[in-house]
Amino acid sequence: MPPDRPIREKVLCYIVRDGRLLVFRHTDYSYEEVGIQVPAGTIKPGEDPEQAALREAREETGLHDFTVVRKLGTFEYDITPARAEIHRRHVFHLALHQDTPERWASQEDNDGEGEPIRFECFWIPLEHGHILEGGQGMLLSRIFDDA
């Protein structure tokens, strides 16, 4: 990997219930800018990837009762041209143990720095996971191994 392309450690969360995948959209940006996403984010220094996945799921959905079903794998994704960096993505299948509406508003407070990021969370059929932005659906087929 060229030195001008740092590798960033990330997590992706596939939260599945009743054959549906929990996704969100940013309410302050268009679909064309950021697409449909699953909870994801950066692993903090010293943080275990599994704990990072649980933290990101809580922060981005506003929900709290998650458990890890299993780690589905790890892959690298080049996010150029957005930024000249590679994301090493640790992908987890999570279970949610609380009720939700079909759609709800959530926000991530960014550790109190800057404006909160606002989301609309909702469920889509698992087989529609191909719509996820930026390679986020790369390991989604492995969910079927858990069924």
pLDDT in tens, 113-128: 788 999 999 999 999 9
Q: Percentage of the chain surpassing pLDDT 70?
A: 95
The whole-number pLDDT of residue 146 equals 62
Give domain limits for the chain.
7-145
pLDDT in tens, 67-87: 999 999 999 999 888 889 999
The whole-number pLDDT of residue 111 equals 67
Structure token pair of residue 27 = 């309410």
Per CATH, which fold does 7-145 belong to?
A: Nucleoside Triphosphate Pyrophosphohydrolase (3.90.79)
Between CA 15 and CA 23, with CA 21 as vertex, the angle to 5 degrees is 85
- Measure Cα distances from 82 to 22, 33, 145 in Å: 25, 11, 33
pLDDT in tens, 7-20: 999 999 999 999 99
Residue that the structure tokens 């800018």 belong to: 33
